[in-house]
């Protein structure tokens, strides 16, 4: 993990061959500048120009150690031989041709998702339609590809939605920061850091077991540490623990973290600042009891915040991953612990040859030399996928890590994630095939 000084120094070097692409009007002058630079492949530039036309959110802010922030434009590397040339046409083909099932109820765009009713399961999709949602692919500071579509509104990288379980990464980060400050030990029972009346309830369940979903907290009689069992309740308890340790509401702690990472579109809701205070929140629908129903975000309990109730945006989740993995938000040793494979997690992406493991708020898959850090988020109406692929730095110190964020404002039944997240899984597979 590089220091903040090294990050700034490497970006000063990169300024020697930098191009800002913020609108189609700037592409002509940008191309002339590129020719003068004379060090970038035409194919690499074409991918960036393709992304610029989509006009989502070309600027991502990276926080460095909480003391300063640096705004990085889309950068064209001066080492084209090492630049990953992603075939964005393969990604376009997926989002533009999503199978549609026959209409269930208006609005018509929801017919692209095949709900779980028996009638819909036996129906034959009649046509295709664009994916309703947002997807953004970045490499380092370069926006390689971006997509946003909704027939009833303009979707951008700043439109807000609910994070779902992506929030677990943020809660895990706050726990690790508390360890860094000497306020807790991961291997100690969580009861030690709770008010006296609660301590007997949780026995010898450790903080590490809560972070890695092996506490068995939701299974009466389960042996802590024996097996993986995904648990929102475990992360809610971690939020309670942090509130007790710092004598401060968890939402305030999380909002400071979001501010440190320059996530201006994101916040942890509370009684004074509910979810619906978000000015750019995209309305969502959930398939329930045989029909599409509007989601009422403020009906979700605020106790869910540490496990999955954060207002955010696609652009902010890109900032989050940069802040978490590319700055000194956590000391190197603690960041390494966070992304070290722990228990195996049963998951639709896993296989015998490439199992999915769980670190601390991070899913980990390692196969064929490719390392993937990921997490999903699923709440009624909102589905999110966050992917990160660490890559070797260039000789000039420039980051080449890849990250992809995808989200959509509609969900089917949790038992049919494969249907609801068809586009997410297809984009992931298409990207991994090129790495």
* 3-class SS letters over 231-283: CHHHHHHHHHHHHHHHCCCHHHHHHHHHHHCCCCCCECCCCCCCHHHCCCECC
Sign, CA dihedral 212-215-216-217, equals negative
DSSP secondary structure code for residue 22 in this structure: -
Q: Is residue 209 part of a domain?
A: no
Q: Is residue 203 part of a domain?
A: no
Predicted local distance difference test score (pLDDT) of residue 51: 34
Predicted local distance difference test score (pLDDT) of residue 221: 87
Whole-angstrom distance, CA of residue 255 vs CA of residue 263 = 9
User: Which of these, 380, 384, 347, 383, lies nearest to 363 by C-alpha position?
Assistant: 347
Predicted local distance difference test score (pLDDT) of residue 189: 97
Structural domain containing residue 68: 4-177+249-432
Give the total number of structural domains in the chain: 1
Whole-angstrom distance, CA of residue 250 vs CA of residue 329 = 18
**Can you name the residues that pair with 356 across neighbouring β-strands?**
345
Whole-angstrom distance, CA of residue 348 vs CA of residue 250 = 32
Q: What is the pLDDT of residues 284-300, one digit of tens each?
A: 999 888 888 999 999 99
Predicted local distance difference test score (pLDDT) of residue 110: 54
Q: Is residue 188 part of a domain?
A: no
Tokens representing 322 are: 């940069």
Look up tokens 């991961």; give the residue: 186
Q: Is residue 230 part of a domain?
A: no
Residue 120 has pLDDT above 60, yes or no: no
Q: Is residue 43 part of a domain?
A: yes
Torsion from C-alpha of 147, 149, 154, 159, nearest 10 degrees: -60
Whole-angstrom distance, CA of residue 317 vs CA of residue 157 = 10
Q: Is residue 235 part of a domain?
A: no
Q: What is the pLDDT of residues 220-253, one digit of tens each?
A: 889 999 999 999 999 999 999 999 999 999 999 9
Q: Is residue 221 part of a domain?
A: no
Q: Is residue 234 part of a domain?
A: no
Whole-angstrom distance, CA of residue 159 vs CA of residue 316 = 10
Between residues 304 and 13, which one has the greater pLDDT? 304
| pLDDT mean across residues, the chain | 79
Residue 11 has pLDDT above 60, yes or no: no
Confidence of residue 302 (pLDDT cuts 50, 70, 90): very high
| CATH classification of the domain holding 78 | 3.40.710
């Amino acid at each position: 993990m590089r220091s903040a000084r090294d990050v700034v120094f490497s970006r000063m070097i990169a300024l020697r061959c930098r191009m800002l692409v913020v609108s189609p009007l700037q592409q002509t002058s940008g191309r002339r500048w590129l020719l003068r630079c004379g060090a970038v492949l035409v194919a690499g530039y074409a991918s960036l120009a393709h992304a610029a036309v989509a006009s989502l959110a070309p600027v991502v802010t990276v926080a460095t150690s909480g003391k300063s922030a640096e705004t990085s434009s889309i950068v064209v590397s001066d080492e084209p031989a090492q630049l990953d040339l992603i075939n964005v046409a393969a990604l376009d083909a997926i989002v533009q041709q999503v199978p549609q099932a026959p209409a269930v109820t208006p609005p018509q765009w929801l017919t692209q998702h095949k709900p779980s009713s028996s009638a819909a399961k036996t129906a034959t999709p009649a046509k295709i339609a664009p994916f309703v949602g947002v997807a953004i692919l970045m490499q380092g500071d370069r926006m390689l590809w971006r997509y946003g579509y909704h027939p009833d509104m303009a979707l951008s990288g700043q439109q807000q939605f609910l994070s779902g379980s992506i929030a677990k990464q943020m809660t895990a980060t706050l726990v690790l920061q508390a360890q860094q400050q000497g306020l807790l030990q991961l291997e100690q029972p969580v009861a030690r850091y709770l008010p006296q009346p609660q301590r007997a309830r949780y026995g010898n369940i450790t903080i590490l077991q809560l972070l890695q979903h092996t506490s068995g907290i939701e299974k009466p009689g389960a042996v802590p540490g024996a097996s993986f069992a995904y648990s929102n309740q475990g992360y809610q308890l971690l939020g309670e623990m942090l509130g007790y340790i710092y004598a401060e509401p968890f939402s305030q702690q999380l909002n400071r973290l979001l501010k440190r990472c320059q996530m201006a579109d994101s916040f942890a809701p509370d009684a004074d600042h509910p979810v619906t205070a978000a000015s750019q929140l995209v309305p969502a629908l959930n398939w329930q009891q045989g029909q599409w129903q509007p989601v009422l975000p403020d009906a979700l309990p605020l106790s869910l915040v540490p496990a999955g109730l954060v207002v955010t945006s696609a652009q902010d989740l890109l900032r989050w991953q940069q802040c978490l993995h590319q700055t000194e938000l956590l000391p190197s040793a603690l960041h390494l612990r966070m992304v070290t494979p722990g228990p195996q997690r049963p998951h639709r992406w896993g296989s015998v040859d490439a199992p999915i493991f769980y670190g601390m708020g991070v899913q980990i898959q390692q196969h064929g030399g490719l390392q993937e850090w990921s997490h999903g988020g699923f709440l009624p109406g909102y589905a999110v996928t966050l992917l990160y692929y660490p890559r070797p730095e260039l000789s000039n110190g420039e980051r080449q890590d890849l990250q992809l964020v995808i989200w959509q404002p509609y969900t089917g039944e949790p038992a049919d994630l494969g249907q609801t997240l068809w586009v997410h899984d297809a984009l992931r597979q298409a990207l991994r095939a090129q790495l």
